[in-house]
Structure 1
Amino acid sequence: VIITLCGFFCNDEVLNHAIEFTGEGVAALPIEARLTIANMTTEWGALAGVFPCDAATRRWFAERIAAIEARGEEHPRLDAALLEALATCEESVAPDPDAVYAKELVLDLDRIVPHVAGPDSVKVITPLSDFERHEVRIDKAYLVSCVNSRVGDLAEAARVVRGKRVAPHVSFYVAAASSEVEAESRRRGDWEALLAAGAIPLPPGCGPCIGLGTGLLEKGEVGISATNRNFKGRMGSKEAKAYLASPAVVAASAIAGRITGPSPLPPEGPPGRLIEKTPPPAAPREVEILPGFPEVVTGELLFCPRDNLNTDGIYPGKYTYIDDFTPAQQAAVAMENYDPHFQ
């Protein structure tokens, strides 16, 4: 869903907006799917993505609280008081009756077909059917990160690979979103199914998706990943190609050795439309300036001739967790993925 949204509405329709998801299709989306979609609204260009509080939300919190209590633990926020507060969340966590929206994006879930994003951008998408025709060979596949490696994601991939083997020339890396997720996946038998197919396990937490640890893309390699970002150089070499897809497509591609899906593809059609709104003129208002805030800000201005430069173009993610990285070292790698000659 989010890959389709990013690619279909790719002309800054959501840039610097907060997105509110609504409609009858929302009820069919499990919380894991909502988490992924909301997480990737930033890659889409938005400031935030918000889903309504509903029965699925309450059920998810109830299950989380029950799991915590079953372990004999306490949580500072997830408790019975929260469940009580959520009993009326449809009314308390809702837009105002007179809320005004800048635009409306309509996505028909019945018309969505699998897409693949990339390389090097979330906003460039191609129907999976095109990859089927061109047989794009891959070297590495990734089912990792906190975005798309939850219990349901691992189960979906396990269904695809059971009784099969990863292609000989492909390295298929798997890492659960957390140690708790990995334990539950093991309990269900999904983790073992992935390893039996030839997947290479990595520890939970940040890894290849941010350019750290084992399994990074080398020069000239092609990878497909269920993570949220595929910016140039983020998962390894700047001269590699990284594509994004769903866990099922990533698993099927690892088995086939090329980008493909786990099942026959439905007919393709336009999945959505844009409805521009004309908000009423806002009443003038005064803005209070905080004490001590300068009236004039001066400094050097650096012109970067590119729209919506991603964060990895400004500062590569692979340096994020180097705790002793000095300011001088940080400055030396600024803009590294965008322009190697910047320094």
Structure 2
Amino acid sequence: MFAFKVAPALIAGNTVVLKSSEKAPLSSLKLASLMREAGLPPGVLNVVSGFGNPTGTAISLHMKIRKISFTGSVATGRKILKMAADSNLKNVSVELGGKSPAIIFEDADLDAAARYTHFSINHNSGQHCQANSRVLVQETIADAYIEKLQSLMNKVTIGDPSAAATFQGPQADMNQLANIQRLIVEASKDGKVVYGGKRHGSTGAFIEPTILKDIPSDSPAYKEEIFGPVVIVNTFKDEEEALSEANCTDYGLFSSLFTRDFQRAIRVAKTLEAGAVGINCSVPVRAVDMPVGGWKQSGMGRELSLHGLNMYTEFKTVFMKYGDDPASLAFRWHSGQEPNGMAP
């Protein structure tokens, strides 16, 4: 996030005030220290630490700040947009999370689909806004897919993230752990917990990799971004049903689909309501020279590529007149003079 926002802003010639997440402030301070050591002039990059209120509020309301790029929750994004309107009508771009689906058709490479969707929901402890948190599997292969996914999750090592053998570390804090546990409990009332679902150990904010199945679209676990290693697996009969469920959310950040049928891949990719679509792959596999951003309540604006650079510039149109002035020509013609050797 630091690189996504700071690099294009500086390249475009801006000075920057960056507010780090209160849950992870140290990496931003370290990077700022390294940039100062590398010779960045004082005052060009300024890192402030603190909570949304008052630190984020001060930035959002400041009359001399003209651009804000924010990544976080929908609730906070709404507050920032309101404060931007109440101050100096700042240009605001926001990425506000997702509930990203993956559609797996019966002709897909099932092993690859299981690997990609597993890594998508488990890397970084599931704390990734583009993660495939909803997997829609054609009903003829659902049992085989869940078996493969469960086998992969069973191999996950949970523990100290600084240990080389650890694959999944803790959640950001105990509040996030409690929120994940709440949503799993809600899901167990509406559907099934197929695998995991419990806190791991008795200390730290660790949660088991979790598979939920047959969760209805009105369940809190289905509607809210869980932001943890928890995946919902539902089934579908045909392409139309898969697309209907994939798009039945207020989010539209990322989608994946898995099929060997090229025509279907392109057709479905065009129909999915998402800012980015992975065909036979998922995040974090992507090209960083391509733009990312969301549709619907997943956000406004794009980061990365030239689109990301354009966010930190303003368009300007310049009109330039050269040669004889039209008003002067009209006067000379009326007076009988001959402009540019032409007869009046």
Instruction: Specify if TM > 0.5.
Output: no
What is the TM-score with the length of structure 1 in the denominator? 0.26
Q: Which has the higher helix share?
A: 2
Which structure has the larger Rg over C-alpha atoms?
2
What is the TM-score with the length of structure 2 in the denominator? 0.26
Q: Which has the higher strand share?
A: 2
